Amino acid sequence: MAIGGGDDDRLVVSFGEMLIDFVPTESGVSLADAPGFIKAPGGAPANVAIAVARLGGRAAFMGKLGDDEFGRMLAAILRENGVSDAGVTFDAGARTALAFVTLRSDGEREFMFYRNPSADMLLTPAELDLDLIRRAKVFHCGSISLITDPCRSAHLKALEVAKEAGVLLSYDPNLRLPLWPSAEEAKEQILSIWDYADVIKVSDVELEFLTGIDSVEDEVALTLWRPTLKLLLVTLGEKGCKYYTKDFHGAVDAYTVKQIDTTGAGDAFVGALLCKLVDDMSVLQDEKKLRHVLRFANACGGITTTKKGAIPALPSLAEALAFAEKQ
């Protein structure tokens, strides 16, 4: 799917991995005890792209898939959800990544990954669509693409090109410790691109991991602040989120929902934020506007936890507005 020229000023390009999650048909059981699995498309950067498109924004996904049935299926899912796959390449020699996800009884998840190596890890700098990156208003990425070369080199090249072109850089580390060689390596690499980013979103769990302190107090969060940042966000699940800019900081409450599955909630939050940012960058300097946007992002994250899976649960604009009005 190509991207029309007229909407490039609203384009969000999301870079990284897209994979198949195998989700147990029964919650609260171990992988070994699960009676069966349903395949669900996943991968945080792909979820963010679809979240943006579902809310009426313009999105493209950039990454590598296996030239296999799963890879072709994922590219089709992007297109069906209104996301451009112009930045997608296929690898004939490697499979699309798979992840088996355990849903605990509290709705939280555990992961077991199959990627040795998977196609997403093999994206090279030469395969990047640099023109697509330069045309973006926002370039969004995670940290899984930093784990191994050649994908790490492709990721760094994409960041440099985006930065040179004046594109706003959004970063959600999306920590998946089982994929890293060690916790130390994960922390080092996640922080290695910190200074590139304009907007960073971390969860409370990631905040503790990166700082070594089990607290979400402002002084802890602010150890992750850099002068290069425009906005730092800490998401707190059912407790909402905290925000920090150079001029102001505060907290925005979450909506109360009946949580079934937290998969994709953070991606829905980020997608909602980016969707609003491309339309009005002054949100980053105006606290009243920012609080309004974060309330909307919290609504989108909340809705996503009320349904199983990530992509099927991501809300449309109409759903998000109706939900927010009812609260």
Residue 317 or 327, more confident: 317
What pLDDT is recorded for position 192? 98
Contact present, 211 and 220 (Cβ < 8 Å):
yes
91 is an active site residue? no
Instruction: Give tens-digit pLDDT for 189-211.
Output: 999 999 999 999 999 999 999 99
What pLDDT is recorded for position 29? 85
pLDDT value at 1 more than 70: no
Instruction: Give tens-digit pLDDT for 29-50.
Output: 888 888 999 898 999 999 999 9
State pTM to two decimals: 0.94
What pLDDT is recorded for position 5? 46
Q: What is the DSSP code string of 217-251?
A: -HHHHGGG--TT-SEEEEE-GGG-EEEE-SS-EEE
Instruction: Give tens-digit pLDDT for 243-298.
Output: 999 999 999 999 999 988 888 999 999 999 999 999 999 999 999 999 999 999 99
Identify the active-site residue in 120, 172, 204, 267.
267
Give the Cα separation of 15 and 151 in Å (integer).
Answer: 11
**Closest C-alpha among 101, 128, 127 to residue 114:** 101
Beta partners for residue 244, in sequence order: 232, 249
| pLDDT grade for 7, boundaries at 50, 70 and 90 | low
Query: Could you tell me the CA-to-CA distances from 91 to 103, 119, 133, 277, 283 in Å, in that order?
Result: 31, 6, 21, 34, 40
